[in-house]
Amino acid sequence: MAIFNNRMAAAGFALATLMLSAIIPSQARAQTIDPAAVQILQRTMDYLASLQQFSVHTQNTVEEVLVSGQKIQFDYSNGLTVQRPNKLLAKRHGDIVDQSFSYDGKTLSLFNASHNYYASVAAPGSIEGMLDFARESLDLVAPASDLLYRNAFPLMMEHVHSAMIIGKAVIGGVKCDHLVFSRPDVDFQILVPEAGDPLPLKYVVTDRLHFGQPSTTVVMSNWNVAPKLTDSMFSFVPPKDATKTDFLRLDASSASAQ
């Protein structure tokens, strides 16, 4: 039975490869940079950067790779609200997280509802500075957070050696251009509506450097570019019975020396 299953798996892989080859033109599979793909990406990132505020719902799938090479997927939903230049709120619920992430321009707070504890720390005064600080000092990286930078386009295009338009795809009933980019460290895909505002509807990042090349997939919906916001929405007030803890700092030695 194991041999039969292995043969079936091999046949299935071969069929999938043939189907993919039929879908993707040979010229697209070459390692070239298509200016049309770059233009669409720039239009999307420039539009996002121009928004003073917005909210969006995302459905996220994160892959973990076991030592055996088997991939396990975890899912969670996220409600993201942004007010430039220095306010962000993310509420995440799912398999691996049940937490809120609040940033009011001065303080970054993380509240874990499952265990009823929170941590707060002083943070830089811009969304971009806060995201860098969270990644480099706290090891906190939110899926698709790179799309939030005002200078996202040049950052995403650094060291890109392949860019192509695979074709059309439909996400949530909306026809999109399917763009694929490759860098030495990551591959990423982004799907953008072919008509109307260029708000991305799907974003996939594949880590090329780590074992098993795990991917993170973010599907976006319910974009609102004019939400009604107040400053208090971004200020974290811990529940009375919540336990305060500290972030585990990657830069603990330098932080303690200050």
Going across the sheet that includes 107-112, the strands are 162-171, 174-182, 186-193, 202-207, 215-224, 53-65, 71-83, 87-94, 98-103, 107-112, 117-122, 243-244
Chunked mean pLDDT (size 10), the chain, 258 residues: 43 46 51 94 98 96 94 94 97 87 96 94 97 94 88 96 96 97 97 97 96 95 97 95 93 51
Tell me, what's the pLDDT at 95? 75
CA dihedral 134, 139, 142, 147 (to 10 degrees): 60
Q: Residue 96's pLDDT is what?
A: 75
Q: How much is the pLDDT for 19?
A: 47
Contact 106, 125 (CB under 8 A): yes
69: left (phi over 0), alpha (psi -120 to 50) or beta: left
Under CATH, which number does the domain 30-239 receive?
2.50.20.10
Token pair, residue 40, equals 């669409």
- Residue of 178, 165, 194 whose CA lies nearest to 32: 165
How far, in Å, CA of 74 to CA of 63, rounded?
6
- The pLDDT, as a whole number, for residue 144 is 84
